[in-house]
Amino acid sequence: MTIEPRGRGTAIVRLVGRLDLISASGLKEGVVAAVGNGQHRLVIDLHAVPFIDSSGLGALIGGLKAARQAGGDLRIARATEQAAMILELTNLNRVLVSYGTVEEALANF
Amino acid sequence: MGLSRRRWRTSSAGVLLEEVLVGPAALEYLDALHALLDRFWAAVNGSRGPRPLADQRTAFITGLIEIASNIIRYAYPPLSAGKIEIRLRLHRDRVEALLTDWGQPFVEPETLAPDWSDELPESGLGLSLARRALDRVEYDRDSSGRNHWWLVKLL
């Protein structure tokens, strides 16, 4: 996971590999730390994440809550087919807004 | 698909292909399971059997990983060396997974199917997600104290 600051409290979080029971807690901790550092408008780039499970989804929701509590938001960008499917099956696509590109997600903050 | 509640555990009728993975119920098992799925789909592609569509494969993997993860997390006490076995099977009309563990009985949480959009839950989504992704999710415990799960995605 890499966090790329973009100024004015905005950052891009880039993930590589599966977001699952093994890696979910790392994402949650990373996002909470970023929010604590003043980066409360976050875009999670899912381009290189081939698979997300419910633990990964839980970490994204946890990150969303942390960002909102700080007055910011968390968006996701470039979700793969599997990520889009799991968001739809859980109805969480209504709260975790997905954008086609990272730039689109950033432009909407 | 017309199998009775318990027959599915023992029936191997109509199996066109099978891949099996046995190992410790630990996080590393998930890596091995993804590798097993890759081998299974490669074998399916090379077989004369039906070819599941991409979204059927994705739904099958998604549901299977949820149930396997639940077994790894909850079937055995922490740090105990429990075992998990998974069989992946291709039939004419379905792909299925048979999961076995020797841990404690599965007890379904009372708060099933939470209203996800209202509460923004961070955990407890796994079983409901598996049920939405798959066509059948059956659980049974046998007289020898083994837990069995039968997961089906129809083709």
CB within 8 Å of B118: residues ≥ 6 apart: none
B152 φ/ψ angles, rounded to the nearest 5 degrees: -130, 135
Sequence-ordered alpha helix ranges (H) in chain B:
28-45, 54-74, 116-119, 126-133
Asked if residue B113 belongs to a domain, the reply is: no
Please report the beta strands in chain A, taking only residues with DSSP state E, as ranges in sequence order.
2-7, 10-16, 41-48, 73-77, 98-99
Q: What is the mean pLDDT of residues A17-46?
A: 96
Structural domain for B64, as ranges: 17-106+124-154
Asked if residue B9 belongs to a domain, the reply is: no
Cα–chain center distance at B64: 4
Minimal-distance CA residue of chain B relative to A94: B117
What is the DSSP pairing of strand B94-101 with strand B147-154? antiparallel
pLDDT at A69 over 80: yes
Asked if residue B115 belongs to a domain, the reply is: no
Q: What is the pLDDT of residue B125?
A: 86
CB contact under 8 A, B120 and A61: yes
CB within 8 Å of A106: residues ≥ 6 apart: A6, A10, A12, A43
Asked if residue B83 belongs to a domain, the reply is: yes
Q: Which of the pair, B72 or A108, is modelled with greater confidence?
A: B72
Asked if residue B3 belongs to a domain, the reply is: no
Q: What is the mean pLDDT of residues A45-74?
A: 96
Asked if residue B118 belongs to a domain, the reply is: no
Q: What is the pLDDT of residue A87?
A: 95
Q: What is the pLDDT of residue B5?
A: 56
Shortest CB distance from A58 goes to which of B59, B117, B123?
B123
- Which CATH number characterizes residue B56's domain? 3.30.565.10
Q: Which of residues 95-114 of B touch A (CB under 8 A)?
A: none
Nearest one of B9, B2, B3, B6 to B97, comparing CA atoms = B9
| B35 at A interface, C-beta within 8 A | no
- The number of folded domains in chain B is 1
What are the per-10-residue average pLDDT scores of chain B (155 residues)?
A: 60 90 96 98 96 97 97 91 95 97 87 56 85 96 95 97
pLDDT at A103 over 80: yes
Q: What is the pLDDT of residue A21?
A: 94
pTM for this entry: 0.92
| B70 at A interface, C-beta within 8 A | no
d(CA B35, CA B107): 29
Q: What is the pLDDT of residue B6?
A: 60
Total residues belonging to chain A = 109
The burial class, CB within 10 Å (0-12 / 13-18 / 19+), for B73 is middle
CB contact under 8 A, B30 and A92: no
Residues of A in contact with B27 (CB under 8 A): 21-22
In this predicted model, what pLDDT tens digit does every residue of A81-90 receive, in sequence order?
999 999 999 9
The burial class, CB within 10 Å (0-12 / 13-18 / 19+), for B15 is middle
Give B117→chain A minimum CA distance, Å.
6
